[in-house]
Amino acid sequence: MNLQFSLASALAQALLHSIWQLALIGGLASLGFNALSGAPAKARHTLGMACLLAMLLAPVATFVLCWQPPAPGAATHVDWQGASGAEPGAAVTAAPVPPWRDWLLVALSQAWLIGVAAMTLRQFGGWRLLRRIEAQPFVQLPGPWRARVDALTAALGIGRRVSVRLAQHVVSPFTTHALRPVIWLPLALLTRLPADQIEALLAHELAHIRRLDWCWNALQCAAEGLLFHHPAMWWLSRRIREEREHACDDLAVSACGDAVALAEALAGLQRSAPRHESPVLVLAAEGGGLLKRVEHLLAGRRRPANWRATALLAFAACCAALVALQVAPPAHLLTNLTVDASSSGELTPGHHREYTASYLGEKQRHYEIRMDAQGRVEESYSEGGEHRPIDAGVRTWLGSMVAMNESGGSGKPAALPPPPAPDAPPRLQSAAMSDESIRLMGAIGADPRLLAVTGQPARFDRTSFHGRIHTWGSRDFHLWGIDDPVGGEATFTIAFEGPRGRAQVRYAGRTVKGGGWAAESFEVLPLQD
């Protein structure tokens, strides 16, 4: 399998398995939130962030486990036993993967990449909006209020310098940046709200800085961009933001000592500020659900356990796991194979074997081996027309082209010969065949003209192949509604045997629209034992 499609397959597998993995992690997070319903909000926030990080790591681990780097030996594996032992008229295949699975694996990875690009553009738009806000005029906080901010900063244990800016275009307080934090306030806030409420809002924004929520929010934005496809992630992300605001409210109350003032300030902001959507990268004071925050501040109300969400996520995890485990990556993506053999059986003096193979997204490979009249062997190998040395990787690829079940016409597989030494030429006994070639052999084996000589069933002798078969495309990789994903042409002779005797078939033909082969010449010659 080539690099691009092996990556696409592994990515699709990771996405499919992420459906049940993220649902399972979401269910565990719901259980944890229920267990910590009476604990401080910061504990639930920590649990939520840990589960969100697990949601990010689970697909990454699955991708690493599913991705197999494209190896030269991963070309194609043909079931010759099934072809030679098939009943007449039966479908002869090489255990193909259903086409819809290949379509699903590639289309799923492409759809995810498009979604990630869209989410990235959305977050980039938030960053651009923030940059425009920072580029517009602002004024610094007056001296008396600057002293109050310094006192709150010391009370919260913040060691960095915090800048507070007032701007006409800002409609609600929010905090930006981590190393050099900035608190933005509406210019009219100092005249619109009482001093204790303004101080409570400042304490809340400073709590975000104390807790490094800018960093946690950035991680959360990354998770939303990569895992946008899963509802469990969005549920957990929303819950994390709620708990973050609750934790900051608790910390602000501990610094300013007035929960009522903070609740009234939040209510005042909700009444006076117009409805707007804050950039995804900022931490706004009115985020996290106003009613829940007011209830949390005034009543300290314990959040009830939500067993419905836990049960729903667990059920979704089970269903998604059953679906994901049924989808396997494509077996191979060989699209063009040409085999040219000047003789049958083992390579003998004066004869040659040639293999030309193409894979999606890779250079064409060509291998040729010849034996002169004195028995000397010459080999050559090229990729994309450039000559390359024949190393162990090339030997592995050649082994995949010729290493087949030693079944012959008996239908009983024998053990494969041991692998050759790295510097030894392969023991080429017969030509490799694509899936379409095997289908052709099955059709020939069911032809009445052949069966009249050999009887039923007719099995082909794979060592007797002499000629050329050229196939391209793959039924296993049928995308975008292509009517004819495969094609081929062939000219060869091959022997068949059955209960009545043996016969040699001389065949020439090509594939036709709609699938199948059409013979241009077909001759059956009886053979004497």
Q: Let me know whether 340 and 429 are in one domain.
A: yes
Q: What is the mean pLDDT of residues 464-487?
A: 60
Over the stretch 299-311, which tens digit does the pLDDT of each residue have? 655 556 566 666 7
pLDDT band for position 53 (50/70/90)?
A: very high
For CA atoms 31, 37, 41, 43, the dihedral sign is negative
What's the first-to-final CA gap in the chain, in angstroms?
Answer: 43
- Exposure string of 500-510, with b = 16+ CB inside 10 Å and e = fewer, is eebbbbebebe
Over the stretch 219-273, which tens digit does the pLDDT of each residue have? 999 999 999 988 889 999 999 998 998 888 888 888 887 778 877 777 777 666 5
Q: Is 480 contained in some domain?
A: yes
CA separation for the pair 438, 82 (Å, rounded)? 9
Whole-angstrom CA distances from 467 to 197, 339, 341, 399, 491 are 91, 8, 5, 20, 6
Q: How many CB atoms lie within 10 A of CB 62?
A: 20
E strands present in 73-115: none
pLDDT of 416 reads 33
Q: Considering the chain, what percentage of its residues have pLDDT values greater than 90?
A: 13
Contacts of 232 (CB under 8 A, 6+ apart): 22, 23, 25, 26, 27, 55, 313, 316
**CATH number for the domain including 284?**
3.30.2010
- In 3D, which of 505, 334, 328 has the Cα closest to residue 435? 334
Q: Let me know whether 416 and 506 are in one domain.
A: yes
Beta carbons of 313 and 305 less than 8 angstroms apart: no
For CA atoms 142, 145, 150, 156, the dihedral sign is negative
Angle at 261 between CA 260 and CA 263, to 5 degrees: 65
Task: Order across the sheet with 486-497: list the strands.
Answer: 386-387, 377-383, 365-371, 352-359, 334-341, 459-473, 486-497, 502-511, 517-527
Q: Let me know whether 412 and 282 are in one domain.
A: no
Q: Let me know whether 386 and 284 are in one domain.
A: no
CA separation for the pair 44, 32 (Å, rounded)? 8
DSSP 115-147: HHHHHHHHHHHHHHHHHHHHHS--EEPPHHHHH
Q: Let me know whether 343 and 450 are in one domain.
A: yes
Considering 46-60, 104-118, 281-295, 469-483, the range whose residues carry the highest mean pLDDT is 46-60
Q: What is the DSSP letter of 303?
A: P
pLDDT of 330 reads 46
Q: Which long-range contacts (C-beta less than 8 Å, at least 24 apart) are formed by 110-117? A: 110/8, 112/11, 112/15, 112/229, 115/228, 115/229, 116/225, 116/226, 116/228
pLDDT of 523 reads 92
Contacts of 508 (CB under 8 A, 6+ apart): 490, 491, 519, 520, 521, 522
Q: Is 472 contained in some domain?
A: yes
Q: Is 15 contained in some domain?
A: no
Beta carbons of 224 and 120 less than 8 angstroms apart: no
Q: What is the mean pLDDT of residues 444-455?
A: 90
Identify the three-state secondary structure at position 365.
strand
Q: Is 413 contained in some domain?
A: yes
pLDDT band for position 406 (50/70/90)?
A: very low
DSSP 397-409: HHHHHH-----TT
CA separation for the pair 45, 428 (Å, rounded)? 65
CA separation for the pair 327, 14 (Å, rounded)? 11
pLDDT at 55 over 90: yes
Q: Let me know whether 397 and 518 are in one domain.
A: yes
Domain count of the fold of the chain: 2
Q: Let me know whether 374 and 504 are in one domain.
A: yes
Pairing of strands 365-371, 377-383: antiparallel
Q: Let me know whether 279 and 364 are in one domain.
A: no
Q: Let me know whether 370 and 513 are in one domain.
A: yes
Q: Let me know whether 146 and 284 are in one domain.
A: yes
Q: Is 322 contained in some domain?
A: no
pLDDT of 486 reads 66
CA separation for the pair 140, 44 (Å, rounded)? 36
Q: Is 7 contained in some domain?
A: no
Q: Let me know whether 275 and 416 are in one domain.
A: no
Q: Dig out the tokens for 195 from the structure.
A: 């001093």
pLDDT band for position 415 (50/70/90)?
A: very low
Contacts of 51 (CB under 8 A, 6+ apart): 25, 26, 28, 29, 32, 236
CA separation for the pair 442, 459 (Å, rounded)? 9
DSSP 207-229: HHHHTTHHHHHHHHHHHHHHSTT
Q: Let me know whether 272 and 346 are in one domain.
A: no
80, with CB counted inside 10 A (0-12, 13-18, 19+), is: buried
Structural domain boundaries enclosing 165: 124-224+247-255+265-288
Whole-angstrom CA distances from 171 to 44, 53, 183, 291, 467 are 30, 32, 13, 20, 80
Q: How many CB atoms lie within 10 A of CB 157?
A: 8
pLDDT at 109 over 60: yes
Q: Which long-range contacts (C-beta less than 8 Å, at least 24 apart) are formed by 58-61? A: 58/17, 58/18, 58/21, 58/22, 58/25, 59/14, 59/15, 59/17, 59/18, 59/21, 59/227, 60/14
Q: What is the mean pLDDT of residues 370-374?
A: 85
pLDDT of 122 reads 87
Q: Is 476 contained in some domain?
A: yes
Please give the model's pTM, rounded to 2 decimal places.
0.57
Q: Is 48 contained in some domain?
A: no
